[in-house]
Amino acid sequence: MTTYSICVLPGDGIGPEVTDCARQVLNTLASGAGPSFTYDTHPAGHGTFLSDGHAMPETSLDAAKAADAVLLGAMDVAQIPPGGGDPLGDMRKGLEVGASIRPSRAIAGVASPSDDIDCVVVREVTEGLYSRIEYQVDADAACAVRVITRAASTKTARLAFEQATARQNAPNPTHIKGRVTAVHKIGVLKLTDGLFLEAAETVARDYPDIEFETRNIDACAMEMVREPEHFDVILATNAFGDILSDIGAGLAAGLGLASSGCIGERWAYFEPVHGTAPDIAGKGVANPCATILSAAMMVRHLGETASADSIEGAVADVLAAGDVRTGDLGGNATSAEMTDAIIAALQARIG
Ligand code: IPM
Ligand code: MN
């Protein structure tokens, strides 16, 4: 039985609660023939800024690099003043992650605007409009610099085509579309999106079995709402992907179930797409599913496919049964009750 070392960065708000729930689910795997985990918890986020003066201590980043994988809760980045640290930016740059993988899939038993959505947004996360290069021109004007490089675009495109291939080759594919849609605004962003699309087209040539198409961001946003079943893998620059992945989450089962993983060649970290939910933090009522599903992505990334399938299946079982649900899903279960139900379903699956 393999043991993996996990660096946990619980962060702020509901982050500590939901990462605790995910750990309990991960710990259940060892009672089957699954892997076991050791955890190393480190500070990061707004609370860390308040206590230590910096939101992303070097020691936390080093611990993240030393672990087999990283599980992150949520971070209140909006509260961190300029110069106070940029935990998500530091993680994404420091761990050299190529892109964030953000699946959106309707889940049986959970009401959602679309029953047909089953797609993955592969979003570049280190540059683009979120390059963090901004300057004040004068009192009345400020600029943000949209940086696009061939290296990051190529890395992200490759991850998108790898995702499309993996989805096509999955044993029980829900949708066999084999399609990558690259999103752009080439009519306006001629140089930056010109380079991004050129990199994507070059990578596409290595994947003749995957259909490659492009969409303007505005048209893509509308088509996602009108015809979500069209999409398989959506390849996007940073800000466009940020928005489209929330549209995907909204069309599927909401942010309470939206998971993500930031994957690079050496390191990877996994986090729910949702934020810190300060209104319910500390009350024990947050939906732990997004973090549990992010942990499942982590387990899959570690090569433990059967265990990842079991966790995803257990979450699906509980949601389909419908009797244990947190408030965001229309129920009144606590995070602990939801986690216990998922653990029981997982135990039933892994024997
Ligand atoms: C996300 C979040 C972050 C991002 C914010 C909090 C910086 O919105 O991961 O989608 O856009 O990078
Ligand atoms: Mn976002």
Ligand 1 pocket mutation, candidates 9, 46, 77, 247, criterion most atoms within 8 A of CB: 77
Residue 260 pairs with which residues in a beta bridge? 271
Ligand nearest to the CA of 102: 1
What's the whole-number average pLDDT of the chain?
95
Ligand 1 centroid to residue 277 C-alpha, Å: 14
Whether 331 contacts 344, CB under 8 Å: no
Radius of gyration in angstroms for the set of CA atoms belonging to the chain, rounded to a whole number = 20
Dihedral over alpha carbons 127, 128, 129, 131 (to 10 degrees): 20
**Counting ligands in written order, which one lies closest to the CA of residue 123?**
1
31 Cα–ligand 1 center, Å: 35
- Residues with catalytic annotation? 130, 185, 218, 242, 246
Q: What is the pLDDT of residue 173?
A: 62
Query: Which whole-number Å values give the CA distances from 305 to 20, 35, 103, 235, 311, in the listed order?
Result: 22, 11, 17, 24, 10
* pLDDT, tens only, 92-132: 999 999 899 999 999 888 989 988 899 999 999 999 999 99
Q: Rounded to the nearest whole angstrom, what is the distance from the C-alpha of residue 28 to the centroid of ligand 2?
A: 30
The residue whose C-alpha atom lies closest to atom 6 belonging to ligand 1 is 77
Longest dimension (CA), the chain: 65
238 close to 215: Cβ distance less than 8 angstroms: no
Which regions of 91-217 does DSSP assign to beta strands (E)? 97-105, 118-124, 134-138, 141-144, 179-184, 211-216
From CA 150, how far away is CA 160, in angstroms rounded?
A: 15
State mean pLDDT over 23-27.
Answer: 98
Report the pLDDT value the prediction gives residue 116, as an integer from 0 to 100.
86
Residue identifier of the C-alpha nearest atom 8 of ligand 1: 242
Q: Which domains does the chain have, with CATH numbers?
A: 1-101+254-351 (3.40.718.10), 113-252 (3.40.718.10)
List pocket residues of ligand 1, CB cut-off 6 Å: 77, 88, 242, 273
Strand partners, 119: 104
245 Cα nearest atom in ligand 1: 10
Confidence of residue 253 (pLDDT cuts 50, 70, 90): confident
The residue-averaged pLDDT of 142-150 equals 98
Supply the pLDDT for residue 175.
66
What is the tens place of the pLDDT at every residue in 169-227?
876 666 678 999 999 999 999 999 999 999 999 999 999 999 999 999 999 999 999 99
The residue to which tokens 């079943």 are assigned: 229
Question: Any idea of the CA torsion for 74, 79, 84, 86, to the nearest 10 degrees?
Answer: 40
Q: So what's the pLDDT on residue 259?
A: 96
pLDDT value at position 258?
95
Q: Which residue has a Cα nearest atom 11 of ligand 1? A: 242
pLDDT tens digits, one per residue of 32-58: 889 999 999 999 999 999 999 999 999
**Dihedral sign, CA of 307, 177, 196, 191?**
negative
What spacing in Å lies between the alpha carbon of 237 and ligand 2's midpoint? 13
